Every structure is written in structure tokens, then in C-alpha cells.
């Protein structure tokens, strides 16, 4: 895992902390990603007439498509993670 200055800064500021595995936290983040996507869909309707061009609609549709694809890829990755993989990731984060 590549060392991240951003993560190092968060750890220094005591804003990054490893926690025990939690299905409720995992579900909460999954729900937040869906809510965020829905909010993005809702906000695309609150644009000025000039912004409501076909290119804006097309780009909004593309962003939603990419967000859905990303969510599916993350879900797939989560289901394929093994305990050993999780342990290695945690060890890498602890090194930061």
C-alpha cells in the first residue's frame, strides 16, 4: 500500500483510527453512498435553464452510471476480501 501524506496527516491529527470490524458501520457507509447518489440525482433537477442542456444531462447520466459501477466494484471487492487481506491492510495502515 502506498504511503499517503493525507492519511499521515489525519493520523497525526488523531482523526484516523483503526476500529474493529463492524457490519453496522459497513451498512451505514453503504447507505450513505446510496443516499449521496440519490441526492446527486435530485440536485440535477435544480439547475438553471442554461445548465439544463443535453450535455449537462448526458454528463449527469454518465456520472450516475460511473457511481453505480463504482459501488458495485466496491461491493464485489468487499465480498472477496479474506481475513488475511484485511490483516495486511490493517498492518499497512498502522505503519502510516
pLDDT over threshold 70, residue 55: no
Q: How many domains does the chain have?
A: 1
Q: Range of 18's domain?
A: 5-95
pLDDT band at 51 (very low <50, low <70, confident <90, very high): low
Q: Which residues of 16-48 are buried (b: 16+ CB within 10 A; e: fewer)?
A: eeeeeeeeeeeeeeeeeeeeebeeeeeebeeee
When pLDDT is averaged across residues 27-46 and rounded to a whole number, the result is: 71
When pLDDT is averaged across residues 8-34 and rounded to a whole number, the result is: 82
pLDDT band at 29 (very low <50, low <70, confident <90, very high): confident
- For 16-20, 70-74, 83-87, which range has the lowest pLDDT when averaged over its residues? 16-20
Question: How far is Cα 38 from Cα 32, in angstroms, rounded to an integer?
Answer: 10
C-alpha cell belonging to residue 51: 445548465
Higher pLDDT, 79 or 53: 79
pLDDT band at 49 (very low <50, low <70, confident <90, very high): low
Question: How far is Cα 68 from Cα 53, in angstroms, rounded to an integer?
Answer: 23
Amino acid at each position: 500500500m502506498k504511503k499517503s501524506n493525507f492519511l499521515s496527516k489525519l493520523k497525526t491529527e488523531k482523526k484516523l483510527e483503526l476500529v474493529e470490524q463492524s457490519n453496522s458501520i459497513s451498512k451505514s457507509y453503504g447507505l450513505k453512498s446510496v443516499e449521496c447518489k440519490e441526492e446527486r440525482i435530485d440536485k440535477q433537477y435544480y439547475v438553471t435553464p442554461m445548465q439544463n442542456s443535453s450535455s449537462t444531462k448526458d454528463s449527469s447520466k454518465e456520472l450516475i452510471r460511473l457511481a453505480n459501477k463504482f459501488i458495485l466494484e466496491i461491493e464485489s471487492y468487499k465480498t472477496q476480501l479474506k481475513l488475511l487481506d484485511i490483516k495486511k491492510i490493517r498492518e499497512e495502515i498502522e505503519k502510516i
